[in-house]
Amino acid sequence: MKNVLVTGGAGFIGSNFVHYLLQEKQDIECLVNLDLLTYAGNLDNLLRVKDDKRYVFVHGDIRDKELVNQLFDKYKFDTVVHFAAESHVDRSIMEPDIFLTTNIVGSQTLLEAAKRHWNLEPDNKYSRSYLPGVRYLQVSTDEVYGALGKTGMFTETTPISPNSPYSASKASADLIVHAYYQTYGMPVSITRCSNNYGPYQFPEKLIPLILHNAMNNKPLPIYGDGMQIRDWLHVNDHCSAILRVLEKGEPGEVYNIGGNNERANIEIVKLILSVIGKSESLITYVKDRPGHDRRYAIDNTKITTQLGWAPSYTFQQGISETIEWYLQNSAWVERVVSGDYMEYYSRTYKNSAVD
Ligand code: NAD
Ligand code: TYD
C-alpha cells in the first residue's frame, strides 16, 4: 500500500481513517482525500494532518468520471478506500434522489476507473489480470441486511434486505462491487460495519445530537419508544478493522465489523445525561421514523477468527472519551451547527474542481 485514494475523507469516519492510516502506515507515499465537502464534509476534521507531506486534499465529486480518471493517472493509486456517501437515514427519507446518484453511481464510477487503471488488458473483457497488490475497499453498513427481531445476528450470508432509501442505495452499491468481482475478477473487499461513535461525527446523528441538545438544555427527540437497538462501535475500531481487511482480507469477500455492543437508544441517551449531569426531563418522545429498523446486531466471527481482528475499546471507555471530546471541542460543534464552515467553503471553492 503506497498510494491510497480515500473518498469522503472529510466526513466523520473518513477523517478518523485518514488520521489513523497516516499514523499506522509510515511507509505510505501519498494519501489523496477526494471529498465534495457536502454539509457533512468538514476540513476542520483534518487540521492535524494538513501539513503532512504525504497528504493531498482534492475537492471534487466521486461521480465526476474525468476527475476520478485524472487522479488515477496522476497518483497511480494501488488502494481505494471508499467512504464518500450520503449517510443519514432521515435525509434519505426526505430526499432519496441524491442517495442513489452519490452512493450507487459514485461507487460505480470509482470501480470503473480502478478497473481501467489496474486491469492489465483493460480493453479485453475476458481479462482478469490486475497489477499486483491493488485493492478496492467498499465501506458498507450492517443496514443493508435490514432489521432483526429480538434475537439473531447478521452474518455475511444473511440475505440483503434494506428498508430505507439510504440502506437500499448502500446495498445496491455492494451488489455492483460484487459484480465487478464476479465479472471482471477485480480485487475488491466489502466491509459492513455497525453504528459508529467517536470524534468528528456530524451532530445530526444520535450521540452528538443528544449531547449538543442536552448541553444547550434543548429537547432530546427520541423516535417511537426509544427501544430500537443499535450495535455501537468506536470509530477507531472501525478504522483498524478496515486496515486489517486491506492487508489480510481475501479478494471478493464481505467482512462484518462490530464489537458485540447492543444498546437501546434510550439507554444511550440516559447514559449521556447521567455523565454530563443533565435532567432526563429533556427527553421528548416524538413520532417514529418511517420504516425504522428495530434492531441491528453484528456477528463478527468471520473477521475475528479469519483475520484476527478485535475491537480495542470497551463501550465504557469509548463513550466517556467521546463525551469528553465533544465537551472539549464545543467550538468545532458550534461551527458545524452554525453552518459557518459551509459559507466558507462556498466562497473558497467557488470555481475550483481540483485543488
Ligand atoms: P459522513 O456523512 O460523515 O461523511 C460523508 C463524506 O462524504 C463527507 O465528507 C461528504 O462531503 C463526502 N461526500 C458526499 N458526497 C460526495 C461526493 N459525491 N463526492 C465526494 N465526496 C462526497 O459519513 P460517515 O458517517 O463518515 O460514513 C462514511 C461511510 O461509512 C459511508 O459510506 C457510510 O455508509 C459508512 N458507514 C457509516 C456508519 C456510521 O455509523 N456512521 C456505519 C457503517 C458504515
Ligand atoms: P442514527 O444516528 O441516525 O443512525 P442510524 O439510523 O443509521 O442507525 O440513529 C441511531 C438511532 O437513534 C436510530 O434508531 C434512530 C434513533 N434516533 C432518535 O431516536 N432520535 C434522533 O434524533 C436521531 C437522529 C436518531
Cα 334 versus chain centre, distance: 22
Q: Provide the 3-class DSSP secondary structure of residue 56.
A: strand
Tell me, what's the pLDDT at 355? 41
According to DSSP, residue 187 is labeled -
Is the whole-model pTM more than 0.85? Answer: yes
Ligand 1 within 6 A of CB of 12: yes
Residue 192 beta carbon below 6 angstroms from any ligand 2 atom: no
Each residue of 305-334: pLDDT tens digit? 999 999 999 999 999 999 999 999 999 999
Hunting for cell 488520521 — which residue is that? 19
- Write out pLDDT tens, residues 242-272: 999 999 999 999 999 999 999 999 999 999 9
Cβ–Cβ under 8 Å, residues 300 and 257:
yes
Distance 179 CA to ligand 2 centre (A): 31
Distance from Cα 165 to the centre of ligand 2, integer Å: 15
Instruction: Give CA torsion, residues 232, 235, 238, 244, to 10 deg.
Output: -150
Helix intervals (H) in 124-205: 165-184
**Cα(181)–Cα(188) distance, rounded to whole angstroms?**
6
Phi then psi dihedrals of residue 120, to 5 deg: -70, -25
Question: What is the average pLDDT score of the chain?
Answer: 96
Mutate to test the pocket of ligand 1, among 38, 39, 236 (most ligand atoms within 8 A of CB): 38
269 CB within 6 A, ligand 2:
no
Phi/psi for 188 (5° steps) reads: -120, 160
Helices (H), the chain: 12-24, 65-75, 89-94, 96-99, 106-118, 165-184, 206-215, 235-248, 265-276, 301-306, 315-328, 330-338, 340-348
DSSP 273-307: HHHHT--GGGEEEEPPPTT---B--B--HHHHHHS
